[in-house]
Chain A
Amino acid sequence: MHERQQVSHGELFRGFNKIALSGFGGVMSWARQTVVEERGWLSSEEFTSLFGLCQFMPGPNTLNLAVCIGARFQGATGALVSLLGLLFVPFLIIISFGALYGEFGEIPLVQAMLRGIAAVAAGLMLAMGLRMAADLVRRPLLLVFSALILVGVVFLSWPLLALMAGLAPLSMWLSARRYCRAS
C-alpha cells in the first residue's frame, strides 16, 4: 500500500482542465496518461478499478472519473472542482463555436466543411463501436443484445428507456447464468 499523496483543489482543477484540452472526441486515454503516468495521483490498478466503476455507472465516463478522483482527495468540493476543470474551458469553446455556427452556418463553404467533418465524425463513432464489439466476439449470445438495441434504436426508433428496461434484465440474467456455470 503506497502512501496517498495530497492533491489540492487547485491541482485538481488544473489537472482536469489539461485532460479536457488535450483530447478530441473523448478524453479517457488522456485521463489515464495524466492521472497515472504524469502526476502519479493513482496507481495503475487504482485507475483501472475506478475506470470500471465509471463505465458501469450511468453518465458521461470522464465526468464520472472526475467526480471519483476529486472526491477521493478533497471530498464533495474536490469533485465539484474537478468537474469544473473538465467542463469550464470546453464549455466556453463550444458556445463560441455554437455562436459562430449560428452566424455563419448558412454559408455554403462552411456547410461544405461541416459535411466533411460530419462524415469523419460518423466514421469515428462507428469505429469505436466496432472496436468495442470486437471484445465480445467470443460471446456471440451477448452480441445478440447489441444487435437488438441497434435495430430497436435505429430502425424502429423505440424510446431508450423502454428498450433498456426490456433488455438489461435479460442480459444481466444471461451474464449471471454464465458466471454461475463458470464457477
Chain B
Amino acid sequence: MSVLTEIIVRFATLSLLAFGGASTVLPELHRLAVETHHWMSDATFAHLVAISQATPGPNSIIFTLVGWQVAGLAGALAATLAMCAPSSLLIFIFMRFWDRIQGTRWHSIIQTGISPLAIGLVLASGCIITRGADRSWGACALTAATVLAVLTSRLNPLWLIGIGALLGLAGLI
C-alpha cells in the first residue's frame, strides 16, 4: 500500500473511532506513526504534538501535521480529508434523528456509557505524550507544574505554552 493510501485508510478509521474528540485517538495515531510504520521517532511525534498545541485551531490539526511530515502537501491534504470526511458525513446524516431521541433513555444511556472510555483515552494521550516529551527532570517538573496550573487557575493555555518555550530556550528542560 502506498503511503497516501495508508494515511487515508488509517486516518478515516480513526475519524470514526474518535469518540470524545480528536485527542482520544492520539495514542492510536502514535502507535501507527511511531511503532507500526516507523514514520517518525518518539521525539519527533512529541514535537509535532507540541507544534499543533501552539497552533490556533481545532485539536484535529495534529493529523494534518502528521500527514505533512510523512508525505508533504499531498499527505497533509489526504490526512485532513480522511480525518474529517467520515465523521462529518456520519453526523450530517445522524443529526436529523438527534432531536427525536432527545430526552429519551437512549440518549442518556449512550452518553453515560461512552464518557468513561473517552476519559480513559484522553488520559492515555496525556501519558503517551508525557512519555515522549519528558526526558529530563526539568521536563517532568514542567509537565507537573502545568497540570497544577490548569487545575487550580483559569490561565490561558497560551501563556503556559509561552513559558514552556522560554524555559526550553533557557536550557532548563
B150 touching A142 by the CB < 8 A rule?
A: no
Chain A: CB-nearest residue to B16: A58
Question: Does A12 sit at the interface, judged by CB under 8 A?
Answer: no
The CA-CA distance from A144 to B120 in the complex, in Å, is 9
A149–B44 alpha-carbon span in the complex (Å): 25
Give the A-B contact count at a CB cut-off of 8 A: 377
Closest chain B residue to A178 by CB distance? B112
Whether B87 lies near A60 (C-beta < 8 A) is: yes
- The residue of chain B having its C-beta at the shortest distance from the C-beta of A82 within the complex is B88
Contact of B90 among A23, A59, A147 (CB under 8 A): A59
Q: A90 and B161: CB pair below 8 A? A: no
Interface residue B55 (Cβ < 8 Å from any Cβ of A)? yes
Partner of B50, one of A71, A94, A118: A118
Of the four ranges (under 10, 10 to 19, 20 to 34, 35 or more), the interface on chain A belongs to: 35 or more
Alpha-carbon gap, A130 to B163, bound state (A): 22
A116 engages B69 (CB within 8 Å): no
Q: How far is the CA of A71 from the CA of B115 in the complex (A)?
A: 26
User: Are B56 and A133 in contact, CB atoms less than 8 angstroms apart?
Assistant: no
A57 touches B90 (CB 8 A): yes
Question: At the interface, is chain A mostly helix, strand, loop or mixed?
Answer: helix
Please name all residues of chain B whose beta carbon is closer than 8 Å to the beta carbon of A57 when the two chains form the complex: 87, 90-91, 94
Q: Is the CB of B19 within 8 A of A116?
A: no
Instruction: Report which of B50, B73, B124, B171 forms a contact with A95, defined as CB distance below 8 A.
Output: B73
Residue B17 at the chain A interface, CB threshold 8 Å: yes
- Which residues of chain A from 157 to 183 have any CB-CB distance to chain B below 8 Å in the complex? 157, 159-161, 164, 167-168, 171-176, 178-179, 183
B57 & A86 in contact (Cβ 8 Å cutoff): yes
Given A86-B58, A101-B47, A114-B50, CB of A126 within 8 Å of CB of B143: yes
> Given B22, B56, B80, B118, which contacts A23 in the complex, CB threshold below 8 Å?
B56
Question: Which A residues are CB-close (under 8 A) to B149?
Answer: 123
A90-B58, A119-B133, A120-B163 known; A98+B69 contact, CB < 8 A: yes
Is residue A7 contacting chain B, with contact meaning CB distance below 8 A? Answer: no
Give the residues in chain A near B4, CB-CB below 8 Å. Answer: none
Residues in B whose Cβ lies below 8 Å from that of A58 = 15-19, 87, 90
Q: Is A34 an interface residue (CB 8 A)?
A: no
Cβ of B113 and Cβ of A105 under 8 Å apart?
no
Q: A91-B76, A136-B115 are in contact. Are A60 and B60 (CB under 8 A)?
A: yes
Q: How distant is the Cα of A178 from the Cα of B108 in the complex, in angstroms?
A: 11
Contact B105 A90 (CB under 8 A): no
Does the CB pair A59–B169 fall under 8 Å? no
- Encode contact with A along B71-115: 1 for CB under 8 Å, 0 otherwise: 001001000100110111011101100100010010111111111
With the chains together, A127 CA to B116 CA distance in Å? 16
Decide yes or no: A124 and B83 within 8 Å by CB, A98-B76, A118-B50 being known contacts.
no
Question: Which chain A residue lies CB-closest to B27?
Answer: A153
B61: interface (CB < 8 Å) = yes
Contact A125 B23 (CB under 8 A): yes
| Interface CB pairs A-B, < 8 A, 7 | A20-B56, A58-B15, A60-B60, A87-B58, A87-B61, A101-B69, A160-B28
Closest 7 CB pairs of A and B: A59-B87, A116-B168, A123-B146, A90-B57, A149-B120, A120-B164, A126-B126
